A and B are shown apart, each in its own frame.
Chain A
Amino acid sequence: MPRGMFKSRTLRRVFRRLPSGKSELRYEQRNPSVAHCARCGAQLHGMPRIRATKLASVPKSQKRPERPYGGVLCSRCQRDMIKEEAREE
C-alpha cells in the first residue's frame, strides 16, 4: 500500500525505468495549467507548461511571445488594445 500522502492524486504518478531494467513508481508534482488571455480568456500559444524550477533553465525568449503584452494577452486582444490607444490620440 502507498503511504497516506500518496493516496490522493495531488501528485501525479510516473513510472521510471531503472538501470537494472525494473520499473519504479515515482510521484511528481503536476504541471501548471494552460495560460489564458487576461482580456478574452482564450488559450495562449507559446507558453511552456513546465514547473518553475525547470522554467529557470529555459531561455526568456522561449517562455512567452516576444511582442508587447506577450504571455498576458492573445494576439487579437493585443492588436485591439493598440488600435484603441492609437485612435484615442
Chain B
Amino acid sequence: MIFEIGTVCIKLAGRDAGKRCVIVDVLDSSFVIIDGQTRRRKCNVLHLEPTSQKLEISKGAEFAAVKSAFEKIGVEVTETKSKKVTDKPTKAHKQHEKKAKK
C-alpha cells in the first residue's frame, strides 16, 4: 500500500492544498490522519498526492515529533493554532475609554 504511516504527501484539495503533510495513522482503505504543514485532521486519500519521501515516525505521533522529523528533510513546519476568542468591546467599554482619554 502506498499510504503507510510516515509517507510524505502533498494535499490536493481545500485550503491546505499544496502543503506537505505526513500520514500519522491509517483508519481504513480510504481514510488517514495527517499532520505537518496542514492542520492535523482526517483526510481522504483521494485528496493526497504521495511523494517518494518517508519520515520515521511512530503511529499516532504527536505534533512535536512530526515537526522534528520534517526538519530533518528540510521542510519548515509551523504550528497552526486556533485564534484566541476575545470578547468584543461593548458600547459601555468604548464610552469609558473615551472619557479616560479626555
Contacts and interface: CB of A to CB of B under 8 A. Distances in A.
A82 B18 contact: yes
A79 interface: yes
Interface string A73-89: 00100110011011101
Contacts of A87: 49
19 contacts: A66-B15, A67-B13, A67-B14, A67-B15, A67-B17, A68-B17, A68-B18, A79-B12, A79-B13, A79-B17, A82-B12, A82-B17, A82-B18, A83-B12, A83-B49, A85-B18, A86-B51, A87-B49, A89-B51
Interface residues of B, number: 9
Contacts of B10: 82, 86
Contacts of A85: 18
Nearest to A75: B13
A85 B12 CA distance: 11
Nearest to A83: B49
A86 B51 CA distance: 7
